[in-house]
Chain A
Amino acid sequence: MSEFVFLFRGRQRLGSAEQQQRTLEKWWAWMADLDERGLLANPGLPLEDAGRRVAGPERAMHDGPFAEVKDLVNGFIVVAADDLDAACEIAKGCPIFEQGGGVEVRPIAPMTP
């Protein structure tokens, strides 16, 4: 088994209060399912929209490090899977697609080759 970071990007902020709650429940169901199957290596954390980027030799600070709002990472989890294909299959079940967002799946580099 290898570990993969799922970066959640660009979920749209639409819908009524009721729809939001239903969406939230879908997320919990999805996360609980991963957990039950022993695939949730780390439940991760949500991220705020705000933030800064510090870059360049002069360590300049820029507000909003993000190219576009749709690229904004708003949270991550770590999932255990056999390989990248299997990890992507797991990602396809994420409720974020119903919100117009996507998942970036990145293998975590192993410490030993």
Chain B
Amino acid sequence: MPLDEHLFRREYGRLVSSLTRIFGVHNLGLAEDAAQEAFCRALEAWSLRGVPDNPQAWLMTTARNRALDVIRRQRMAAGHAPELEQALRTGQDAEPAADDPFLSGAMKDDVLRMMFACCDPRLPERTQVALMLQILCGFSVGETAAAFLSGHAAMEKRLGRAKAVLATSRRLFDIAASPQVVRRLPAVQRALYLLFNEGYHGASAETSVRADLCQEAMRLTALLLGDPRCATPATHALAAVMCLHAARLPARVDDAGKLVALSEQDRSRWDQQLIADGLALLDLAATGPDLTGYHVEAAIAAIHAAAPHFRATDWGAIVALYDRLMRLEPSPIVALNRAVAIALRSGPAQGLAEIRAIPDRDRLSAYPFYFAALGELECRSGNAEAARIHFRHAISLGRNPMERRYYADRLALCGAGADSVQRLEDMWDHALEGLRTVLEREPAVR
């Protein structure tokens, strides 16, 4: 029997969440060890014998028994520990029954609760995302570090500190207490948005595009949508953003592993089902008075999705949406994107003027897309020398080979003459889709 492609990753989050609910957040480490152990056992047993009829129940029973063993030993060592006794009893009550339809429902709830627990307001946003990757997606410390352009030791420390913070509340976050859910929901949405962006155009040292991170973000967002308390218009809008961006992923990297600009993408490779899903979600998001940044971003993505080819893009509508986004969530990054949209609507001179008018643009000085945008607009205005300086700057700030190669290609073409319009269009993709993400993630520039 074949396995779902990412079964282990998905089940890991469920196991850790359920065991943490049973044994308490202060036993998160125990839950992680037990889940890890269950996968080791599965690897040994299943490699020779194939998959059991109900792999989820097999894993849950194995992990739970492992946790109980450890707790029994601890109890004997401590001599007397009534709270563990309690955990043990509760744990036994939670014996998973293979065909119990409530089991999967309960586990879904557990994952949701863990998601909210990870988004503890005492933790920085990036740490919340890292926790989600590790606890809910089964990423190793190394994999988590790679996704954040961070060192292994530093990530380990960060995660350790974060788990110590979580462990101060013994009970797993209770989503039944609705006032808390409402308060913390924006943080959960934000973390999922960042996780998606990390995959769509992240800071990984190896590659700019990590489709698996996008998938994980979409899977967890679907869980939010499945809960009536969490399925708000903003959550629908967030899901729409993800669908409409993910639809373009198949066309974003070519067979040689190079980033492909929006203007050059083979739009027949866009996932029409995801576009349809995204538009339907955007409709659902349009109920009630709330208008969030997610709504506006989804609307921008919808305009791109609706354009049969790049030159048919409605730049006027996109500029109007960026005006709106500036009112909702003003930041130099949004302003820069708006300037790029204006350049595409009205020409590079207007675009450059808009960039120069950004009041706090000095906060963009460490970010490659800013210089890439300047380079393209200067080049398009006929200032090849100025453009080349900007591109070299962008290369020096690039975070992975894919990105640096992209800027190097732009640099090489700069001053070559006839294709300047094309170059401007290429830049659009890069600036729009990457820049905002990266900058927004850094509290320093917000």
Q: List residues of chain A with CB under 8 Å of any chain B CB.
A: 11, 13, 15-21, 23-25, 27-28, 31, 43-46, 74-75, 77
B177 within 8 A of A: no
The answer to whether B9 touches A21, judged by C-beta atoms less than 8 angstroms apart, is yes
B residues 31-69 with Cβ under 8 Å of A? 35-37, 39-40, 42-50
B429 within 8 A of A: no
Residues of B within 8 A of A16 (CB): 9, 138-140, 142-143
* Complex A-B: 15 CB contacts under 8 Å: A13-B40, A16-B143, A17-B9, A17-B39, A20-B39, A20-B43, A23-B43, A23-B47, A24-B3, A24-B8, A24-B42, A24-B43, A27-B48, A28-B50, A31-B47
Known: A16-B139, A16-B143. A21 touches B6 (CB 8 A): yes
The answer to whether B48 touches A46, judged by C-beta atoms less than 8 angstroms apart, is yes
Residues of A within 8 A of B12 (CB): 17
The answer to whether B8 touches A20, judged by C-beta atoms less than 8 angstroms apart, is yes
Q: Which residue of B lies closest to A16 (CB)?
A: B140
Complex alpha-carbon distance, A27 and B46, angstroms? 9
Known: A15-B140, A16-B138. A21 touches B8 (CB 8 A): yes
Q: How many residues of B contact A (CB 8 A)?
A: 26
The answer to whether A20 touches B42, judged by C-beta atoms less than 8 angstroms apart, is yes
Complex alpha-carbon distance, A82 and B359, angstroms? 79
Would you give the shortest CB distance from B345 to chain A, in whole angstroms? Answer: 43
Q: 19 extra interchain contacts, Cβ-Cβ under 8 A, other than A13-B40, A16-B138?
A: A11-B44, A16-B140, A17-B8, A17-B12, A17-B35, A17-B36, A17-B39, A17-B138, A18-B6, A19-B140, A20-B39, A20-B40, A21-B8, A23-B47, A24-B8, A24-B46, A24-B47, A43-B48, A46-B47
Residues of A within 8 A of B7 (CB): 21
Residues of B within 8 A of A75 (CB): 44, 47-48
B11 within 8 A of A: yes
Would you give the shortest CB distance from B383 to chain A, in whole angstroms? Answer: 47
Residues of B within 8 A of A28 (CB): 47, 50
Complex alpha-carbon distance, A24 and B375, angstroms? 48
- Contact among B35, B43, B48, B140 with A31 in the assembled complex (CB-CB below 8 Å): B48
Would you give the shortest CB distance from A71 to chain B, in whole angstroms? Answer: 15
